Structure 1
Amino acid sequence: MALVAIAWLAAPRPAEAEESLHSYAIVGDAIPEPLTGANGDAAHGRALVVERASTCILCHGGPFPEQKFQGDLAPNLSGSGNRWSEGQLRLRLVDASRLNAATIMPSYYRVDGFDRVGNAWRGKPILSAEQIEDIVAYLVTLRD
C-alpha cells in the first residue's frame, strides 16, 4: 500500500487548472512573446528540467552532472541557448508538433486534438504557462 502511495505522489501531474490557456502568436518557427507577459525564473526552470516528473530529462541529456540516467532519445540540451532563440524554444515546449508532426516530444501547453488522454489530464496542459517560461528562461542560459 505504501508503494502505491509513493508511486501516486511521484507521478506527473497536469498543470494546475487555469481559467484558460494564455493566448499566443506563432511567428515563423517561434512564439516570440512570453505566454505570461514576463520572463521566467531560470533557477526554477532548471529544477523543472531535471525533475523526472516533467519528463525533460527522460528524453534529453544535458549539463546535469548530479543526474544519473539522462535520456538520449532527443537532442542534448547543452548549448540550447546557442541553437535556438527564446521564441523557438517556447514553441518547442508549447507544441513541438507544429514544427514536426511526427515528433515524440509532448505538447506541454496544448489541450486539444488528442485521442487518448487520461481523465486527470483532460483539458489541462502538462505544464503551466509559468512553468513553460521558467524552462525557457533556463534553456536560453545553456550556451556551451
Structure 2
Amino acid sequence: MRISVISVAAMGLMASVAFAEEVLPTAVSFNDDGAVEQSLSGTAGDAANGRKIVGDKKQGNCVACHQVSDLADVPFQGEIGPMLDGAGERWSEAELRGIVANAKIMFEDSMMPSFYKTEGFIRPGNAYTGKAADDTFGPLLSAQQIEDVVAYLVTLKE
C-alpha cells in the first residue's frame, strides 16, 4: 500500500512538472522578428503526427491554403499561401513556431489563422465547428500540436 501511494504521488509530481513546462497562448514570447525560441509544450515535436495535422481538414487544415508535395494524397490543396516544400530550409525552427502560433506577428497582412491564440479576435469562431465562441474558447491547436507541426515543417527540404 505504501509503495502505491508513493508511486501515485511521484506520478502526480511528474505530471505537474510536465504541465508547468507548457506555455499558455497568452504567455508566448515572440522575438522582434516574430520567432518563438522556446518550445510551447516542453516536449519535442512528433513529425509524423505533425504531418497528419497539416493534412487533416479537421485539425490544422494547412492544406486549405498551402500545397505540400509530401501530402499529394490529400485532395484540394490550396494556393493562397506559399508552398510548404522547402519550409525547413526557408525558416528556422523558431521562425516556423512563430508562424504557426501566430503568423500575423511576422507577416502583418497574413490571412493565416493564429493557431495558438485565445485573445484579441474580432468575432472568433469555435475552432472549425462553424459556431460562435463561448467561454471555453481555446486555441485552434494545442501546444503539443504546434510542436508536432513545426517538427514536420522542419523536415520539408527542397
Q: TM-score, normalised by structure 2?
A: 0.73
Distance 2:78 2:135 in 1: 24
Q: Which has the larger radius of gyration?
A: 2
Structure 2 residue runs of 5 or longer lacking an equivalent are 1-21, 125-131
Deviation for aligned residue 1:121: 8.0
Deviation for aligned residue 1:60: 0.4
**1:140 is paired with a residue of what secondary structure?**
helix
Structure 2 residue 35 is matched with structure 1 residue 28: no
Structure 1 residue runs of 5 or longer lacking an equivalent are 1-17
- Which letter does structure 2 place at the counterpart of 1:111? T
Q: TM-score, normalised by structure 1?
A: 0.80
1:130 to 137, 144, 151: 144
Matches within 5 A, 1:32-47: 32-47=37-52
Richer in helix (by share): 2
Q: Which residue of 2 aligns with 1:60?
A: 66
Structure 2 residue 154 is matched with structure 1 residue 140: yes
Identity %: 40
Deviation for aligned residue 1:19: 10
Deviates more, 1:49-58 or 1:72-81: 49-58
Give the total of aligned pairs. 127
Deviation for aligned residue 1:108: 0.5
RMSD: 2.1
